[in-house]
Chains A and B, each alone.
Chain A
Amino acid sequence: MKDDVESREDRTAGLKGLGCARRRVEDLRFTQGKGNYVDDIKLPGMLHGDFVRSPYAHARIKSIDASAALALDGVVAVLTAEDLAPLGLHWMPTLAGDKQMVLADGKVLFQGQEVAFVVARDRYVAADAVELVEVEYEDLPVITDPFESLKSDVVLREDLEPGADGAHGPRKHHNHIFTWEVGDKETTEQVLEEAEVVAEEMVYYHRTHPCPLETCGAVASMDKVNGKLTIYGTFQAPHAVRTVVSLLSGIEEHNIRVISPDIGGGFGNKVGVYPGYVCSVVASIVTGKPVKWVEDRMENLMSTAFARDYWMQGKIAATREGKITGLWCHTTADHGGFDACADPTKFPAGFMNICTGSYDIPVAYLAVDGVYTNKAPGGVSYRCSFRVTEAIYFIERMIEVLAIKLNVDAAELRRINFIRKDQFPYQSALGWEYDSGDYHTAWDKALAAVDYKGLREEQAQRVEDFKAGKTRKLMGVGLTFFTEIVGAGPVKNCDILGLGMFDSCEIRIHPTGSAIARLGTISQGQGHATTFAQILASEIGLPADSITIEEGDTDTAPYGLGTYGSRSTPVAGAATAMAGRKIRAKAQMIAAYLLEVHDDDVEFDIDRFVVKGAPERFKTMKEIAFAAYNQAIPGIEPGLEAVSYYDPPNMTYPFGAYVCVMDIDVDTGVPEIRRFYALDDCGTRINPMIIEGQVHGGLTEALAVALGQEIAYDDLGNVKTGTLMDFFLPTAWETPNYETDHTVTPSPHHPIGAKGVGESPHVGGVPCFSNAVNDAFRAFGLTHTQMPHDHWRIWKTANRLGLHG
């Protein structure tokens, strides 16, 4: 037999399991244009929907006249809030416990808000009809600033009962949403009072948008004969959508099938429920025909969920030697017209309380006030776990501000404050238990790799040259050490709309030794079909190439909470390993029977069970699979299948050390990234090639956010960045070269020790790019300048510091 001569190394390599840089199985279809996205779905008789949207940021709706639109040949219906009201669907609940208008109910609260839904024979007629719907508006005063909003007499949300509590407790003002407090306020304030040194800064993390390449869309199809509703959509959490649709519509859940086909990027933008989804469902129910709605780029940028928009007022206390003694943060969170933030229910500001970062800070206090303004709703986690980018940007700016205040090196300041390896599992002052880490090792490796000392010497020389008029370019060294909190999460504290955030995997081994595994998650480009097969290959000893991974169809996949917040590997990846172990346990019994020994006398070895002490006696997993279906084994059911629902005992805490070297032209404000080094520790590494791809992608989105990507409004609430001309989406041309590196500190509680990586580079990348810009001007007296660091803002900083002569 071939197996007899194959070495253990060859057998391991043949599986393409954990650690293999296996090529992505998805790419064959994506690179050939054979993907199947929502807009590729065409059903017989399908109608098309399009929205009439508000040009105003705040206005009362006096009247809507759809008669001209309805008279246009090919227009089937025009839905308004009045039509949805009898079904109770003119408003919908948000993930944050607020409610949001599906179609404008008497007023609009942001530019681009959905006012009416036109349904027509084709996409073109629908667009023409949108122009024909006449809406009479009466403008109302517009508020785009959250601080002003909290002082304003203008009531944005007239639907909310004055003085009544919101979903997260008392509201202090009619435009206030919630206050969320964590930590020890009294002690923190006392520490600040008594501290030797206190550094203070207002750190603003501007409003931006995840901007996936594929915009949001849905195709709803109500089959009135068998009572089944099928919804294809850009859903990062298809099972949760099914449950929510059932609760909202009253249609029994078994009669609803939600399918997420191929998804062209999500980055948090596709977690929430949008009016377009609801309207296409209602329109299909009303017309009895399938209805497609796909938004265009401008609609995506203007109306679907934004990210960030946090004003973070910080105070950090330390000894003169630089040991941090306390951290205080008050955040004013601009949520726009509705609180449609996508966070676990008990966390209205997500995991913002990870803001103590990678540092051993004995006491801390965080308060977050959510505020309504006349901007689009949202507040999603754009390539990060819930609000972790905000938290890490905050602490990584504050530590730099403290370094300036203390006049010390920022790398050394980090080092003396890191949580030490022997402190893990570490209880943070704001309530988290960090699972594992070795920060000092990672930091030393990173600083050595970039010759940190050499960089600082070069920078000092540059400052001298600049002062001597020899150069007009300054040099910045951006540092970041981040700790992410991902893998939501333990059902005891993480749920969304009451749905516990476990995840799942169901495996069927076929008689010939191949398999299909289905999961409750859904890939949007992460490469699940590649990596989950690798986890299984190592667990069950069948080649990854013989394992199909399927996600996204609620009629076939086991229930799960979907893909966002880097939760797929920590939660569904764990479920996959656990389900694989159930397969292996049964396989062990079958092998023992076939080898005529006791169960305990066989052991698993790569792709087979061998008799202990007699390695020549074995049954391969392939043979065992065949036997499972074709041999009557006493006491063992036929078949080889398993399902696992995994409720993680804790989050995982990936971390990393990043260094960015940047040259800045002070005359044009143009930054040039000379070098970017990224060390990531995501625990056990499943596929190094996919990790590298994730790091490159996350860093590029970080570059975008730090250097110019924003959703900006004028004073009237008009979106100034509604197209890709003004909204910065980097191409290969703007993207620098990245050097990637790693250390491996497995998670102690995850079945295979993996932690998740997709969002780390974004979380760590944004502060690293921003710190480089800030650092370039440190020698000239700059403490902090706000993002985004586009040309004119960098120029303004240089100008303010008197560098233009």
Chain B
Amino acid sequence: MIPAPFEYYRPREMAAVLALLAEHGDEARVMAGGHSLIPMMKLRMAEVPHLIDLQDVEGLSGITVSGGEIRLGAMVTQAEIIDSKELAQAAPILREAALQIADPQVRAMGTVGGNVANGDPGNDMPGLMQCLGARFTLVGPEGEREVAARDFYEAAYMTERDDDEVLTAVAFAVPEGGYAYEKQKRKIGDYATAAAAVQIRREGASCAAASIAMTNLSDTPVWSEAAAEALVGTELGPEAIEAAVTAMLAEIDPSEDNRGPVEFKRHAAVVILRRAIARAWSRA
């Protein structure tokens, strides 16, 4: 568990980060909390000759809620998300999800930016951000641009972010209605066997809007527009839920691992989504 030799940088400004990325190209990686990257380096599965630590870079921290918009700096930790009263009120699904990520020690270091940028299908935040319709801010040599979370993920560890760009913030509209982040895992610290993020807005007896995303059931998070649409306009009776579940099943593509065979994961996905919908609806 000893990484290959690497140079360590700890710049204070984004310009310096970008300069290092420009200089070293794909030999350089930025690091936020390090809870994905460092184990990969120790296993020598990732070789990073130039490691750029973002923790001293200005402008990457802070949680702001204003004007119906929530913005999380990339270096906001899971622990900060859990502790934020403002966020608990504005978007309680974040706290519910963050509490199911790893353990308190990891959450003290693990960041929202690292979680969404790494492109690991096991991470919980990417699916959550797709559910919330979040936008990711990327800063690169050409300046700043925004990419929708729903367009960001291409394959496992492959994202829209270019090698010379840094993900600096996550932003989304204050979600409305009921919510649930439901996750089945084998133990603390584990990735999901299946997880579902659900937001539902209710008007009267029926569902006015819904958003559904699944985690660790494909090589990217799966935002299932069809599953959500199956709920909209209904009173969430058994048929509507069945339709949502069927739509979701058509879009996931789990693979076998130590968490179980594909057949089991597909079944777990159904159970987890049903529970998430029920809980979100009960809160809507």
What is A's interface to B at a CB cutoff of 8 Å? 50, 123-124, 126-128, 131, 296-298, 667-670, 708, 712, 720-721, 724-726, 728, 730-731, 733-734, 790-792, 795-796, 799, 804
Provide the residues of chain B in CB contact with A668, threshold 8 Å.
184, 268, 271-272
Q: Is the CB of A296 within 8 A of B44?
A: no
Knowing A128-B5, A796-B264, A804-B267, say if A791 contacts B189 (CB, 8 Å).
no
Q: Is B108 an interface residue (CB 8 A)?
A: no
Q: Is the CB of B44 within 8 A of A131?
A: yes
Q: Is the CB of A790 within 8 A of B267?
A: no
Q: Is the CB of A731 within 8 A of B103?
A: yes
Provide the residues of chain A in CB contact with B4, threshold 8 Å.
128, 131
Q: Is B10 an interface residue (CB 8 A)?
A: no
CB distance from B38 to the nearest CB of A (A): 14
CB distance from A300 to the nearest CB of B (A): 11
Provide the residues of chain B in CB contact with A799, threshold 8 Å.
267
Q: Is B260 an interface residue (CB 8 A)?
A: yes
Knowing A127-B2, A667-B271, A792-B264, say if A733 contacts B188 (CB, 8 Å).
yes
Provide the residues of chain A in CB contact with B267, threshold 8 Å.
667, 795, 799, 804
CA distance A705 to B85 in the complex (A): 40
Q: Is the CB of A791 within 8 A of B186?
A: yes
Provide the residues of chain B in CB contact with A298, threshold 8 Å.
1
Provide the residues of chain A in CB contact with B44, threshold 8 Å.
131
CA distance A733 to B191 in the complex (A): 15
Provide the residues of chain A in CB contact with B103, threshold 8 Å.
731, 733
Knowing A131-B44, A667-B271, say if A297 contacts B186 (CB, 8 Å).
no
Knowing A127-B2, A131-B44, A791-B193, say if A669 contacts B188 (CB, 8 Å).
no
CA distance A712 to B191 in the complex (A): 19
Nearest residue in B to A297 (C-beta to C-beta)? B1
CB distance from B42 to the nearest CB of A (A): 9
Provide the residues of chain B in CB contact with A721, threshold 8 Å.
258
CA distance A791 to B260 in the complex (A): 8
Q: Is B190 an interface residue (CB 8 A)?
A: yes
- Could you list 20 further interchain pairs (A-B, Cβ under 8 angstroms) beyond the known A667-B271, A669-B264, A791-B193? A123-B2, A124-B2, A126-B2, A127-B2, A298-B1, A667-B267, A670-B184, A712-B258, A724-B189, A725-B189, A728-B187, A731-B103, A731-B187, A790-B186, A790-B260, A792-B259, A792-B264, A795-B260, A795-B267, A804-B267
Provide the residues of chain B in CB contact with A667, threshold 8 Å.
267, 271
20 contacts between A and B (CB under 8 A): A50-B2, A124-B5, A128-B4, A131-B44, A298-B1, A667-B271, A668-B271, A708-B187, A720-B258, A726-B258, A730-B187, A731-B103, A731-B189, A733-B187, A791-B184, A792-B193, A792-B264, A795-B264, A795-B267, A796-B264
Nearest residue in A to B265 (C-beta to C-beta)? A792
Residues of chain B from 1 to 32 with CB closer than 8 A to chain A in the complex: 1-2, 4-5
Provide the residues of chain A in CB contact with B272, threshold 8 Å.
668
Nearest residue in A to B122 (C-beta to C-beta)? A725
Provide the residues of chain B in CB contact with A734, threshold 8 Å.
187-188
CB distance from A474 to the nearest CB of B (A): 15
CA distance A670 to B271 in the complex (A): 12
Residues of chain B from 126 to 167 with CB closer than 8 A to chain A in the complex: none
Provide the residues of chain A in CB contact with B184, threshold 8 Å.
668, 670, 791
Residues of chain B from 96 to 116 with CB closer than 8 A to chain A in the complex: 103
Residues of chain B from 69 to 108 with CB closer than 8 A to chain A in the complex: 103
- Considering residues A128, A730, A790, A795, which has the most beta carbons from chain B within 10 angstroms of its beta carbon? A795
> How many A-B pairs with Cβ below 8 Å?
65
CB distance from B266 to the nearest CB of A (A): 11
CA distance A124 to B6 in the complex (A): 12
CA distance A395 to B95 in the complex (A): 47
CA distance A712 to B5 in the complex (A): 32
CA distance A791 to B188 in the complex (A): 14
Nearest residue in A to B259 (C-beta to C-beta)? A792
Provide the residues of chain B in CB contact with A127, threshold 8 Å.
2
Provide the residues of chain A in CB contact with B264, threshold 8 Å.
669, 791-792, 795-796
Q: Is B261 an interface residue (CB 8 A)?
A: yes
CA distance A50 to B188 in the complex (A): 31
Knowing A123-B2, A124-B2, A128-B5, say if A792 contacts B188 (CB, 8 Å).
no
CA distance A731 to B189 in the complex (A): 10
Provide the residues of chain B in CB contact with A733, threshold 8 Å.
103, 187-188
CA distance A725 to B257 in the complex (A): 12
Provide the residues of chain B in CB contact with A730, threshold 8 Å.
187
CB distance from A762 to the nearest CB of B (A): 19
Provide the residues of chain A in CB contact with B187, threshold 8 Å.
708, 728, 730-731, 733-734
CA distance A423 to B190 in the complex (A): 50
The 9 A-B residue pairs with the shortest CB-CB distance, nearest first, are A792-B260, A127-B2, A733-B188, A296-B1, A792-B264, A667-B271, A726-B258, A795-B264, A731-B188
Nearest residue in B to A708 (C-beta to C-beta)? B186
Nearest residue in B to A732 (C-beta to C-beta)? B188
Nearest residue in B to A704 (C-beta to C-beta)? B187
Q: Is the CB of B1 within 8 A of A791?
A: no
CA distance A128 to B5 in the complex (A): 8
Nearest residue in A to B261 (C-beta to C-beta)? A792
Provide the residues of chain B in CB contact with A128, threshold 8 Å.
2, 4-5
CA distance A669 to B259 in the complex (A): 11
CA distance A791 to B187 in the complex (A): 10
CB distance from B136 to the nearest CB of A (A): 27
CA distance A50 to B44 in the complex (A): 15
CB distance from A514 to the nearest CB of B (A): 42
Provide the residues of chain B in CB contact with A731, threshold 8 Å.
103, 187-189
Q: Is the CB of A791 within 8 A of B2?
A: no
CB < 8 Å: which of A50, A124, A126, A728 contacts B186? A728
Nearest residue in B to A710 (C-beta to C-beta)? B258
Mark each residue of chain B from 24 to 53: 1 if its CB lies under 8 Å from any CB of chain A, else 0: 000000000000000000001000000000
Mark each residue of chain B from 249 to 274: 1 if its CB lies under 8 Å from any CB of chain A, else 0: 00000000011110010011001100
CA distance A790 to B187 in the complex (A): 10
CB distance from A247 to the nearest CB of B (A): 34
CA distance A131 to B267 in the complex (A): 42
CA distance A131 to B272 in the complex (A): 43
CB distance from A725 to the nearest CB of B (A): 7
CB distance from B187 to the nearest CB of A (A): 5
Nearest residue in B to A130 (C-beta to C-beta)? B2
CA distance A783 to B5 in the complex (A): 55
CB distance from A753 to the nearest CB of B (A): 40
CA distance A99 to B258 in the complex (A): 33
Provide the residues of chain A in CB contact with B271, threshold 8 Å.
667-668
Provide the residues of chain A in CB contact with B193, threshold 8 Å.
791-792
Provide the residues of chain B in CB contact with A728, threshold 8 Å.
186-187
Provide the residues of chain A in CB contact with B189, threshold 8 Å.
724-725, 731
Nearest residue in B to A724 (C-beta to C-beta)? B189
Provide the residues of chain B in CB contact with A50, threshold 8 Å.
2
CA distance A296 to B4 in the complex (A): 16
CB distance from A211 to the nearest CB of B (A): 14
Nearest residue in A to B191 (C-beta to C-beta)? A725
Mark each residue of chain B from 166 to 197: 1 if its CB lies under 8 Å from any CB of chain A, else 0: 00000000000000000010111111010000
CB distance from A302 to the nearest CB of B (A): 13
CA distance A669 to B271 in the complex (A): 11
CA distance A513 to B264 in the complex (A): 67
CA distance A796 to B271 in the complex (A): 15
Nearest residue in A to B44 (C-beta to C-beta)? A131
Provide the residues of chain A in CB contact with B259, threshold 8 Å.
791-792
Nearest residue in B to A804 (C-beta to C-beta)? B267
Nearest residue in A to B258 (C-beta to C-beta)? A726
